[in-house]
Structure 1
Amino acid sequence: MSINAELRGSVGLPGGGALVNGFAFESRCGGARRALLRNGQELEVYDLDELLGGERAPAAVFALPWSGWDRGVHSVSPDGAFAVFSGQRAVRAVGVGGEVLWEYRHGCWGPELGHPHSGDEQEVCRGSEHGSCRVSDDGLFVWAHVVHEEQEYWVVLDAQDGRELARLALDSATAGSHHVSHPDGIHMGLSIGMGQDGILLYWARWDGERLTSWDLNETMDRILIDVHPGHAGYLTLEHYGADLRLHALDGDVLAEAEPEADEFGDRPCWDYTCGFVDAGTVIVPVPEDEEFPDQAGHWLLDAHTLGIRGRVDYPDGAVAGYVRPLGDGTWLTYDGRTETLNRWGAGADDGQL
């Protein structure tokens, strides 16, 4: 079955590909959605709805604290007053005016153990490993994945002054990580990629006094993807895209989906840029693969059973690749040829998703 896509808006946005294939998209409890786009030595922050409505001026601009560091996953406070940057040797909070509000120092993500530094804070050491950080939805705390003396930790920091409030030792050797904030505004997820060594996944909550965590890695090698907007579970993808699963918060599997098989019974893989279009629908891409020429595209699934509803049929027939669902019945794609960000929804003939 084909489901017609309807173009809901477009905007020219150089660098906007990071919104659909990267960590430039940040959503908040209550519906706020932002684009965090690097432009030279600045991080430009846009209200996504205003941007798609034609507002080209960023809502806030933050100076990047380390000129040579282009990795790490950063975050902006709910009120837009400050940004928190995940660096190679520190987590740093920066105000809109460029002032450093606080800094939390940690070990170096560089891969050579015990390697020296020149003393220049702008020095970037060899390697691509990085951590990530996320400001809580109430703006009171910063969650950060860091390293100290060859041991990785998940720490909770006071957003006002950077004091460490709690830490959880991790059994990881990261290549990179990202946070996923639960829409309940309480729980935080952490997904740690370790290259060919697999994926680690954690959930936790901090009540101001106690850090409670869930280690879900005994039976998992899965990427944390997205959380249901109605709190009905979260999505994970098998490390290499073999299947997509819906889980309860404790990790129990509620539903599972594989891509459709071809005439020989072989299956392609799902792509990792997937998630909830709305409370009833999931969108997930199948990347182009010469072994499965008829399977590539974007597929819509039932959000509760992960049953396949059909493939998206775009007006020009050419849209494929990465996708960013927004949770409100629409999703984004990016055309790198024209540097255009496009917003889509199901066509009227296909009814409400």
Structure 2
Amino acid sequence: MITSAVTARLVATFTAPLDRERDAAYAPSVLRWPDRRLLIQRGDVEAVAVGLDDGAVPRTRFPAPWPRRFGTFTVAPGGELAVFSGVHAVRAVDPAGVVRWEVRHGCWEGGCRVLHESYEEYADDKAHLYADSGSAVFSADGSLVWAHVRGPVASAGPDPEALDEWLVIDAADGRVLGRADAETVAAGSEHVPHPDPAQMGLSVGEGQDGAPLLWGRWDGVELSVEQFGEQERILTSVSPTGEYFLTVAHDLDSLALHRVADGEVVAELHAEDAVPRHPDADPDDCEADEVMWDYECGFLDRETAITSTDQEEEFGPVRHWLLETAGMRPAGQIAYPFPVCGTPTALGDGTWYTVSRDGDALHVWTPDNPRVSD
């Protein structure tokens, strides 16, 4: 059981480049690669990327091809290209709004079998407003885009039986270099990059049906895909060295450390064994007895991970935890100098960030010297 505390020291605060209300924007987040970090934010009409490292990427704005509700987006490590993963296509756009390339695919709205040519075809259809979604991300060196799409890609023609596909795309010109049947029926997905550009993790959400975890390897000719975790574990982070990855169980009761080589579980930590009941919860509230991990768990560095416990704001302040990845042992509860909300996101360089309650700022933290709680 976690009984010690670790003080968090504020490293930096970054103001969100877009106004949440004026620009109809999501809260900011951070993309990270081995040699750089980008703060990104998505509004309805534009997306913004800002380099967080000295002499890195300047603030860059990208005109958005469709409103934020219709998919996700990512940015190249150099900040020169944004890729929007939408309902009907994966589209690469430069800061001037020029479409560098586009890969069209099946529609993410479950009942639609049309291979759309543009967003305008379904812009006013309410069903498409609540379509499922895929995702895309750049490889560690920026040379590839890995994209999870609804099958089939446009060149294959409509196929009512097509499942989701996983693509490896040339980031320079949009050529589909490799493709594989993901064998998933996604409501949403998230890529988790590996330091090796030829490897990628993919966590797929299928609602109550499960959470397939896919691992892809690209050898320059063929994309090979493995499934780990028997569709019950959600991939959350890859270690800075690339040797291990972290998962949380679909029911949030345990965290696990896996080997990348074969997906095998090296160590596991159950919430009920590590986390005490929230101290501010009503003693008669039975729901507070069931502690669960959150969906965020990441490598702070090669030896330490950070996570939080789920659904606790109704009891009191959200609680964040440090873990020793060797053996998945509890290391301490994080004590902040001012209240924070939401989940912590690890950056892999010994720091993590939290987003302000209003979504207008991002705070970067590092652990100070640990102390034993009273």
**TM range, normalised to the smaller chain?**
0.7 to 0.9
CA contact (8 A) 2:26 2:41 kept: no
CA contact (8 A) 1:17 1:336 kept: no
Per-residue CA deviation, residues 281-306 of structure 1 (Å, 9 max, x unaligned), is: 11110134389x58950011002221
Give the TM-score normalised by structure 1. Answer: 0.86
Give the TM-score normalised by structure 2. Answer: 0.82
Task: Specify the SS of the correspondent of 2:92.
Answer: strand
CA contact (8 A) 1:44 1:58 kept: no
Question: For residues 337 and 135 of structure 1, do their structure 2 counterparts lie closer, same or farther at Cα, with a shift above 3 Å needed?
Answer: closer
Residue matched to 1:31: 35
**Shift of residue 227 of structure 1?**
0.5
CA contact (8 A) 1:69 1:87 kept: no
**Shift of residue 81 of structure 1?**
1.8
What code does the residue aligned with 1:334 have? V
Counting aligned pairs with the same residue, the percent is: 37
Question: For residues 146 and 17 of structure 1, do their structure 2 counterparts lie closer, same or farther at Cα, with a shift above 3 Å needed?
Answer: closer
Task: Specify the SS of the correspondent of 2:192.
Answer: strand
In 2, distance between residues paired with 1:160 and 1:337?
A: 37
Task: Specify the SS of the correspondent of 2:120.
Answer: coil
Per-residue CA deviation, residues 141-165 of structure 1 (Å, 9 max, x unaligned), is: 2211112234210011222222222
In 2, distance between residues paired with 1:304 and 1:346?
A: 18
CA contact (8 A) 2:27 2:360 kept: no
Question: For residues 171 and 11 of structure 1, do their structure 2 counterparts lie closer, same or farther at Cα, with a shift above 3 Å needed?
Answer: same
Task: Specify the SS of the correspondent of 1:121.
Answer: helix
Residue matched to 1:246: 257
Residue matched to 1:340: 361
Task: Specify the SS of the correspondent of 1:199.
Answer: coil
In 2, distance between residues paired with 1:77 and 1:301?
A: 31
Residue matched to 2:346: 325
In 2, distance between residues paired with 1:4 and 1:335?
A: 18
**Shift of residue 103 of structure 1?**
1.1
Question: For residues 118 and 230 of structure 1, do their structure 2 counterparts lie closer, same or farther at Cα, with a shift above 3 Å needed?
Answer: closer
**Shift of residue 207 of structure 1?**
2.1
Residue matched to 1:142: 145
CA contact (8 A) 1:12 1:338 kept: no
Residue 11 of structure 1 pairs with residue 32 of structure 2: no
**Shift of residue 112 of structure 1?**
1.3
CA contact (8 A) 2:144 2:197 kept: no
CA contact (8 A) 2:200 2:215 kept: yes
Unpaired stretches in structure 2, ≥5 consecutive residues? 153-158, 278-285
Per-residue CA deviation, residues 163-197 of structure 1 (Å, 9 max, x unaligned), is: 22221112211111111110233311111111111
What code does the residue aligned with 2:60 have? A
For these two proteins, the number of residue pairs brought into alignment is 338
Question: For residues 210 and 120 of structure 1, do their structure 2 counterparts lie closer, same or farther at Cα, with a shift above 3 Å needed?
Answer: closer
- Choose the corresponding residue for 2:187, options 175, 179, 184: 175
What code does the residue aligned with 2:174 have? G
Residue matched to 1:75: 74
CA contact (8 A) 1:298 1:320 kept: no
